[in-house]
Amino acid sequence: MSVKLNEDESNNKDQIDIPSSRKNSKSRNNISSTLPLGICFGVAFGIIFDQLTMGISLGVCFGVVLGALTKKK
């Protein structure tokens, strides 16, 4: 069984609808990129100083603060 597509439908099948929140990469919040870094460093310092829960907490705090301070203009 074969199905013929109209010319308009065949041109649109390769296009992917991107949500409007992802179209502008400049408007992305920097917290989403600095939070994992803060958590990684927090876990590393927590393991070094044998205070993992404190390290994770401080890592999250530093990640959020760093993301808020490094906003792109």
Q: pLDDT digits over 19-63, tens only?
A: 655 555 544 567 788 899 999 999 999 999 999 999 999 999 999
Q: What is the pLDDT of residue 28?
A: 57
Q: What is the pTM of this model?
A: 0.57
Among 56, 32, 54, which Cα is nearest to 43's? Answer: 56
CA–CA distance, 60 with 17 (Å, rounded to integer)? 33
CA–CA distance, 63 with 31 (Å, rounded to integer)? 7
Task: Give the CA angle between residues 38, 57, 29 to the nearest 5°.
Answer: 45
